[in-house]
Structure 1
Amino acid sequence: THYVDVWVGKPEPQRQTVIVDTGSSVTAFPCAGCKDCGESYHTDGYFMSDSSDTYEVTDCTKSKKCNIGGMCHSLNQYDHKVCSVRMSYAEGSSWSAVEATDYVYAGGLHDGALVRVEDGNEGGGDAEDHIGDRPNDAYAFEFKLAFGCQYSITGLFKTQLADGIMGMLDSPKAFWKQMYTAGAIDEKRFSLCYSRQPTASREGTEAGAMTLGGTDTRLHKSQMVYAANKSSSGSFVVTIKAIYLRSNGGESALPDSDHQVAQNI
């Protein structure tokens, strides 16, 4: 499972690692007060919402509106109605959360937050002044995200290495779509370039790249091939016409010899 760093809150952002999930739309991670939520398994402690000056629980008392889904109702610890969100996944895991908003940025330095300096510059300038491929640029692409502040989780969400999940469906609720709506990226695009490493570490394992707002052709070994998305519900679905397995392995679909023929299965 591939995950990325997101840094949440101000004045000093807190790291949360989140699984990149193109099959769901909501970003969520455990917050302070989450009961038995796998802190000993995860890369980071719970998000300490009280330490962020910009953290807000969504107040749906008047609007009855929830940005990432869920129901608007009363919970004992809040003096206003909140959006309660619950998500379940095919492998049996689930979580419950309240909807909240805070400033986030993705990437950056794995072992330390990029913070606002006293003269008002944020990590080196505005987003348009950066191409975004340097870790120190990440803070310039911050935006206010609506996410799930989890108070209960079950299944693999407890024992996985990553703290939470990043929903990347084609949905207004998804991380990348919220980033676009907030003006942090100019195009409604993102790309994933995965590699596989033999082990994963709590200290972080580089295993690919996520590009928000486009594609990074420097990572390509061949030209991109396009396919029509067959889904109208926000999922990413393509029609598979054939599958080939290459005899005796290798990295290319083209055979190097008579013993490496691609077999149509």
Structure 2
Amino acid sequence: MAPRRLVVLLLICSVLLNFCGAFASTADDQRRPMILPLHLSSPDDARHHRRAFDGRRLQRSEPNAHMRLHDDLLTNGYYTTRLWIGTPPQMFALIVDTGSTVTYVPCSDCEACGNHQDPRFQPDLSSTYQPVKCNINCNCDDKGNQCTYERRYAEQSSSSGVLGEDVISFGNESALVPQRAVFGCENIETGDLYSQRADGIMGLGRGQLSVMDQLVDKGVISDSFSLCYGGMGVGGGAMVLGGIKSPPDMVFTHSDPFRSPYYNIELKEIHVAGKALKLNPKVFDEKHGTVLDSGTTYAYFPKDAFIAFKDAIMKETHFLKQVHGPDPNYKDICFSGAGRDVTQLSKVFPQVDMIFSKGQKFSLSPENYLFPHTKVSGAYCLGIFENGDSTTLLGGILVRNTLVTYDRADNKIGFWKTNCSELWKSLNHENAQAPSSNDGNMSGGIAPDIAPAGLPQTDLPGELQIGQISFDMMLNISNSMKPNFTELAESIAHELEVDISQVHLRNYTISGNDLLIKWTIVPDESANSFTTTKAMNIIRRLREHQMQLPHKFGSYQLVKLKVEPQIKRSWWEQHSWMVAVGVSVASVLGLLALGTWLVWRYRSRQGMTYEPVDGVVGAVVAEQELQPLK
């Protein structure tokens, strides 16, 4: 999916559960979307919509699913998270989309699916997979055996397949145990869906097929989730399914679930440099109002609001030189002379404040309305554009380095400025726990590489103290120019979720177009060694080639990986553990298996069972989606 595409999805009359609606969640390269509501499928839909939100608030504390976000908003056009499906679990990279309600992945028998990040889902290899049998509430396959779905996208791509039910797992850093859920198994992909790197979509919107609604209806999480997107040039972030304790200074605004199925907020004014834009007070309340959509890259204002915002920014930055945008097909508004240090942009560009219905104010940094020029160093362009419709659409750029809590139980959405990379570390520290090993019908939420077959499943008397992790990477430099090693180190630090001070460049050698770079990752200054969880996360990400470096660095190849013990060892380590393993690419799999055996701990959970997804067939919310005008 291109980074400039607006996320949109048109569902063509197919999913399960008493509805034949339409809903959108992919992206479009067009910048002037028209928001077009689709008609409700029956007069009873509004009644069903209200019922879906009755009695949702849980009175007891529930576990959360803490999940990492990957990719970069401007490079990829989306954020993905990892979800495991089946027993044993099969891993997928799914686009996080609050504008869609169905989760789907490519199926093994798909004859028209692209080559994505991970292997296709193989139902035959999952002992817990069950097809959703054909019934009067869904369209059925040619054999009349299984429910089907079909989606067509505004940019001429499409997705269709069958509906299945299986165990979904949320990773070994989530307290939430695996659960059964309904999802789509693709048989056909076309257009951008076929060519994108991500495997599929994770739907977080309102509707009974949504991952959120299914988990809430089962009573395993409270009716809330949170997203936190990384900052400019950093990417990544964190996601939490379930409630979290809100920071005391989080700014909340009402979200009306009865106005539309979108996550909307009550935006009343926008201030630039402390001055309110001179606009009709109702400008942000037209059509669907102001809508948040995690699958949309940029922000789109109604015409009058866009012009007023653009003029105010240009007035405050009159001392900067205006330059053409990076793409001649678009009339971007860009400024040069601001410098390359994004942490200093607030000294050049004005603060922007969003004012909500009760006077609450949430302040935006320049990174929330700018994107870096890809061809002019130190230049930045407005990431807010004119919408061809009267709806205000706020994409991911507006909430970078912002914790956004979608409190669906209390019908409100909260905003809190923070460092999303650091936020993940704190969430992980508070709630991470090892997934359990279970009987043959349970996945335990463990990825296959974390619990490989044949390894002993035993507790260890202590933790292995790893002092540093070294690796060699090969880059192809076709232009014979060395990369900016500082920027490359920053990207590696972000992808491995360590501080930049922990990434050390040892040396590099150039042979023709091949650049061999040797790196060492050391523990934080406050520690003499890595925790086992942290060390295994770094090893896993390196072994699985999960580092996603900016495109300007090209592709890389892992050549060698070496793990060294802490220099100052405890008495137990001196007598029991000595680890110094150097491996080539051919033996990386063996290193991961050995490391996993040494440091992984299994903890059993008692009485954990899987319940059938009762109530999936029933009254549901008729949905609408955003559709762009080309």
- 1:46 equivalent to 2:46? Answer no
Aligned residue identity for 2:113: C
1:211-231, CA deviations, whole angstroms, 9 ceiling, x for partnerless residues? 0111365xx6x8221112244
Aligned residue identity for 1:181: D
Which residue is 1:203 aligned to? none
Higher helix share goes to which structure? 2
- 4+ residue segments displaced more than 6 Å: 248-253
Q: 1:239 to 1:91 in 2, by over 3 A?
A: farther
CA distance in 2: counterparts of 1:99 and 1:54, whole angstroms: 14
CA distance in 2: counterparts of 1:189 and 1:263, whole angstroms: 27
1:119-139, CA deviations, whole angstroms, 9 ceiling, x for partnerless residues? xxxxxxxxxxxxxxxx2x45x
Conservation of the 8 A alpha-carbon contact between 1:19 and 1:162: yes
Alignment of 1:17-28 (within 5 A): 17-28=93-104
Which residue is 1:214 aligned to? 243
CA distance in 1: counterparts of 2:206 and 2:245, whole angstroms: 20
Alignment of 1:1-265 (within 5 A): 1-10=78-87, 12-39=88-115, 42-61=116-135, 64-66=136-138, 71=139, 73-76=140-143, 80-108=144-172, 135=173, 137=174, 140-185=176-221, 187-196=222-231, 198=233, 207-215=236-244, 223-232=249-258, 233-244=260-271, 261-262=350-351
CA distance in 2: counterparts of 1:161 and 1:251, whole angstroms: 30
Which residue is 1:113 aligned to? none
Shift of 1:164: 0.5
CA distance in 1: counterparts of 2:166 and 2:272, whole angstroms: 46
TM-score, normalised to structure 2's length?
0.31
CA distance in 2: counterparts of 1:159 and 1:74, whole angstroms: 25
Shift of 1:158: 1.4
CA distance in 1: counterparts of 2:99 and 2:257, whole angstroms: 12
Q: 1:263 to 1:25 in 2, by over 3 A?
A: closer
Q: 1:212 to 1:87 in 2, by over 3 A?
A: same
* SS of equivalent to 1:153: strand
| Root mean square deviation of aligned Cα | 3.0
CA distance in 2: counterparts of 1:31 and 1:210, whole angstroms: 26
Conservation of the 8 A alpha-carbon contact between 2:141 and 2:162: no
Q: 1:157 to 1:227 in 2, by over 3 A?
A: same
* SS of equivalent to 2:216: helix
Conservation of the 8 A alpha-carbon contact between 1:99 and 1:146: yes
Conservation of the 8 A alpha-carbon contact between 2:226 and 2:240: yes
Aligned length: 211
Q: 1:142 to 1:34 in 2, by over 3 A?
A: same
* SS of equivalent to 1:193: strand
Query: Percent of counterpart pairs with the same letter?
Result: 33
Query: Could you list the runs of 5+ residues in structure 1 that have no partner in the other structure?
Result: 109-134, 200-205
- Which is higher, the Rg of structure 1 or of structure 2? 2
Conservation of the 8 A alpha-carbon contact between 2:112 and 2:187: no
Conservation of the 8 A alpha-carbon contact between 1:9 and 1:53: yes
Conservation of the 8 A alpha-carbon contact between 1:144 and 1:182: no
Shift of 1:244: 4.6
Q: 1:196 to 1:86 in 2, by over 3 A?
A: farther
Aligned residue identity for 1:167: G
Shift of 1:89: 3.3
CA distance in 2: counterparts of 1:151 and 1:94, whole angstroms: 11
Aligned residue identity for 1:7: W
CA distance in 1: counterparts of 2:344 and 2:206, whole angstroms: 30
Query: Could you list the runs of 5+ residues in structure 2 that have no partner in the other structure?
Result: 1-77, 274-315, 318-337, 354-383, 385-630
| Higher mean C-alpha displacement, 175-184 vs 143-152 | 175-184
* SS of equivalent to 2:269: coil
CA distance in 1: counterparts of 2:350 and 2:181, whole angstroms: 49
1:81-136, CA deviations, whole angstroms, 9 ceiling, x for partnerless residues? 3211012334443200111000001233xxxxxxxxxxxxxxxxxxxxxxxxxx2x
CA distance in 1: counterparts of 2:117 and 2:109, whole angstroms: 17
Conservation of the 8 A alpha-carbon contact between 1:26 and 1:166: yes
Conservation of the 8 A alpha-carbon contact between 1:4 and 1:107: no
Aligned residue identity for 2:137: K
CA distance in 1: counterparts of 2:206 and 2:128, whole angstroms: 27
* SS of equivalent to 2:187: strand
